[in-house]
Structure 1
Amino acid sequence: MPEVRLVGPNGEQVGIVRIEDALRLAREADLDLVEVAAQARPPVCKLMDFGKFKYESAQKARESRRNQQQTVIKEQKLRPKIDPHDYETKKGHVTRFLGQGHKVKVTIMFRGREQSRPELGFRLLQRLAEDVGDLAFVEASPKQDGRNMTMVLAPNKKIAKTPKQQAAAQAENEAAAEPTPTS
């Protein structure tokens, strides 16, 4: 006689019963007998409304998909011969993207004779990684791919605040620290 461990509709343990008895109990309660854990010995079955169970599990799956955070990869393109001010501007963009919690793919584009000097691009990527080291870590180290060299930076778990956010937080702290006059 095959037996199953039966769980009631409210989650209470009924015990180990024969399959025929479990099916009879399900019919009497106008519920379905659903196998929950087939690998267990004896298999675990539960009395439940299967249509309602399917609907609720679909709702949970939809809700979890909605709550998942989409990872956005921003891209910043550079050239090996970049002026200092242009570099600072591009570094500012990378810092802003990382501050917003996005990953950043930094691409160095080589043209013509620049392709014979990949170490220039590598040094530039290393310098950028060091400059934004407090905000991010190197997720994918620099790799040459044809005419391009790429590196991926990911924000640290604890995202540093931008200067504007730091100033606003400091102003709030100072306002909270000031004693309020009472009459």
Structure 2
Amino acid sequence: MSNTKTFTRIFTIADYEEEENWLREQSRKGLHLQKMIQPFIYIFEVGKPEEMIYRLDYRNAKGDQDYAQMFADYGWECCGKCFGWIYFRKPASVVTCEEEGELFSDNESRLSMVQHVIQTRMLPLLVVFLCILIPQWTNVMNSPDEITLEVIFSILMLLYVILILHCGRKLYSLRKKLKKF
């Protein structure tokens, strides 16, 4: 049985570039992504340190074999899937130019992925927040004898607002940056 290490690390949907860099850093330490366990558990196989390029693509679709094969044809190994994200890696030693180290050949494709994340993750979260959580929060706040529930619900609302603002800001700036090019 191979030697493995498990890490818990939280990345939001807008932090995928940071996640790619973190995975690359781990491979430099000899930790190579073996699989993901939802929501935030990474299992690494311990091996020799190697310079690997990790890239994430957001598909949010099940079982597209042709899609995975297309990346395999270009030397990318699919090393995990989690919450619609597909994790690919490639040894940096086989990359001869900058384009070979990227999943997407142009900014239009990158922009399309960011738009897809916004439409399938951010917008549904925003709808849930506006249509369900805010009305429920007002009901809880108007209840005179539920102080504990008020505190818990207020903390959850604050966390939700922070996450929406963080992800929205990052995805918006990514989209803006990609539209410039």
Task: Give TM class, smaller chain.
Answer: under 0.3
Higher relative contact order (CA 8 A, sep 6+): 2
TM-score (norm 1): 0.21
Q: Identify, as 1 or 2, the structure richer in strand.
A: 1
Q: What is the TM-score with the length of structure 2 in the denominator? A: 0.21
**In terms of Rg, which structure is larger?**
1
Higher helix share: 2
